[in-house]
Structure 1
Amino acid sequence: MVSLPDNASAASKIAVIGLGSMGFGMARSLKRAGLDVTGYDVESAAVQRFVAEGGLGARTLAEAVKDADIVVSVVVNAVQTESVLFGPEGVGQAMRPGAVFVSSATMDPAVARGLAKRVEALGLHYLDAPISGGASKAASGELTIMASGSKQAFAAARPALDAMATKVYELGEEAGTGAAFKMINQLLAGVHIAAACEAITFAAKQGLDLGKVYEVITASAGNSWMFENRVPHVLAGDYTPLSAIEIFVKDLGIIQDMARAERYPVPLAAAALQMYLAASGAGMGLDDDSSLARLYAQLSGATLPAAAK
């Protein structure tokens, strides 16, 4: 087992890899907490934006993680995480011994366990730490983090965890447990978004006042967090991606793979996945996941609100 660095409790130098809608907010929260934060992204404009707000920017992964106590990886999936760690410019060999790699990507638990073993073999710590809460919670430092890893990994990552989240669930000492919890969350989230979009578009097909539908349902037993959060996008006709269709193509696909391996039926998640796949195939893959409502409208001839001009 790798040892805990002497200065772990006071660690202050942090690298954030991936400055998208989530990573940028997380980097801002870390900086607001008084930590020394360097940001890196394959898109130089994202790095420049962080620098403009007073953060530090890096041109390469190695530059970003040099002397970092904590590396927070906020990329999309397991493939990108593996590339960040072990690709041609991977940080695995560039991080200092005893530093901790905090992996926030949603992935198959078995993959998380494999990455953890490879990282720990390099004398580093690995914290399996998927996140929930959306871009607004990332920016305000109010995420929920579902984490698993060694006591040393938790201790080393604590300054970052405390700055990024209001709820940090410590779910065990084996990497992959956090990932499994996140997949249960994603199963529910994906199904709930699909149900919300199906319901609000069905209401449109019935000729109902959609604003009044939203008011009534959010005060009734049929409400869900996703209905309350996503339906306003539909009412505004604004499908700017806050969480894209492709995210759930990926995540519900992982759930299908996990369930098939366990010989466990997930028919509701499977049906929802088909709708996300259809929306992606219709050209909405990079649009907000509330675009499922637009797909239902196309299939049914329902009319949804147009964006304000």
Structure 2
Amino acid sequence: MRTVGIVGVGNMGGGMAAHLLAQGWTVHVHDIVREKVDAFAALGAVPCANAAEAAQDVAALVVCVVDAAQAREVLFGPGGGAASLRKGAAVLLCPTISPRDVESIASQLREIGIAAIDAPMSGGPARARDGSMSLMVACNEAVFEANRPLVEALSRKVFRVGDKVGDGARTKLVNNLLAAINLVGAAEAIALARKLGLDARTTLDVIEQSSGQSWIGVDRMRRAIEGDFEPRAHMTLLAKDSRLALEEAQAAGFEGPLGAAARDVFARAVEEGLAGLDDAALLTLLSS
């Protein structure tokens, strides 16, 4: 079946929906923002009033919301999609949430005959649209094989990180902790360049071709230098993810020198009113 439901068609979910539609999939879409649903309906998607409608007659339901509370709500709350899925269907859990939440949601789904695929994503909206984003997939082999066409339609960069649901979330938190560290470092470096009287654009050109390069640093600082803080990735996302990563580190008895510092910078940015901006606004914070 080349029919899939997507709940949450914001930056990443919207990119995934557009990519699947371009490949000829039938895509049911639901979002709390009706205008987003209408925009995808104009592209050929099936508009749905709630997650339950989005889950009807699909091979899989992709959950692309912000956090665990929202994931539970769209699956098990009023109008939730889990009860509408056929037996043997799958739910792809794509948000960055704690491994314990992934395991708990998977357990609830298993009780009603639905498979869970732990499948957090990374790469940003443009890469979701062109299929080059990363998917970190953890589930048993039979479930993966049954859903391989969808997973590979969504991404050309699929990483099978394990058979145990929850390991995808763990991998994503490790990745996002490094992303947070790299972004704080890039913002600090460009803020320093300005303080030293250097041209920020030229400095970033050098960094991009030199040992200080990081994808997230260059991507965000290009926008920040131009004063473009329109949110592609809200500040709150890496604030949440770095906090979750440090909670996992603490539970594992691990303490590193940089993670907590990056987490604290993001927390400070949120506290100082930058929550609604793109995380590129770290440059504003560190330049003040």
Shorter-chain TM-score range = over 0.9
Q: CA deviation at 1:267?
A: 3.3
What is the alpha-carbon distance in structure 2 between the residues aligned to residue 34 and residue 211 of structure 1? Answer: 41
Q: CA deviation at 1:280?
A: 0.9
- State yes or no: 1:253 paired with 2:248: no
What is the alpha-carbon distance in structure 1 between the residues aligned to residue 131 and residue 10 of structure 2? Answer: 15
CA offset digits 1:274-302 (Å, max 9, x no partner): 1111111111101011111100111xxxx
1:45 matched to which residue of 2?
35
2:10 matched to which residue of 1?
20
- State yes or no: 1:104 paired with 2:116: no
Q: CA deviation at 1:88?
A: 2.2
8 Å contact 1:69–1:156 — kept in the other structure?
no
1:146 matched to which residue of 2?
136
Q: CA deviation at 1:159?
A: 2.2
Unaligned runs of 5+ in 2: none
1:86 matched to which residue of 2?
76
Q: What TM-score, normalized by structure 1, do the two folds share?
A: 0.91
Question: 1:186 is matched by which residue type in structure 2?
Answer: N
Q: What TM-score, normalized by structure 2, do the two folds share?
A: 0.97
What is the alpha-carbon distance in structure 1 between the residues aligned to residue 234 and residue 257 of structure 2? Answer: 22
- State yes or no: 1:59 paired with 2:49: yes
Greater Rg by CA: 1
Question: 2:179 is matched by which residue type in structure 1?
Answer: A
1:240 to 230, 243, 249: 230
Q: CA deviation at 1:68?
A: 0.9
What is the alpha-carbon distance in structure 2 between the residues aligned to residue 114 and residue 60 of structure 1? Answer: 23
CA offset digits 1:13-63 (Å, max 9, x no partner): 110010100001100111111111111001111100101112111012111
- Within 5 Å, which residues of 2 pair with 1:137-176? 137-176=127-166
- Percent identity for Structure 1 against Structure 2: 33
Question: 2:121 is matched by which residue type in structure 1?
Answer: I
3-state SS of 2:82 partner: coil
CA offset digits 1:228-276 (Å, max 9, x no partner): 2111012211111111110011101101211121221133111111111
RMSD value, Cα: 1.1
1:124 to 114, 121, 125: 114
What is the alpha-carbon distance in structure 1 between the residues aligned to residue 33 and residue 142 of structure 2? Answer: 33
CA offset digits 1:87-106 (Å, max 9, x no partner): 12221211111111011011
Unaligned runs of 5+ in 1: 1-10, 299-309
8 Å contact 1:21–1:135 — kept in the other structure?
yes
- State yes or no: 1:279 paired with 2:237: no
1:177 matched to which residue of 2?
167
2:221 matched to which residue of 1?
231
3-state SS of 2:83 partner: coil
List structure 1 runs of 4+ shifted beyond 4 angstroms: none
- State yes or no: 1:77 paired with 2:67: yes
1:209 to 181, 199, 211: 199
8 Å contact 1:230–1:290 — kept in the other structure?
yes
Q: CA deviation at 1:226?
A: 1.9
CA offset digits 1:71-95 (Å, max 9, x no partner): 0111111111111211122212111
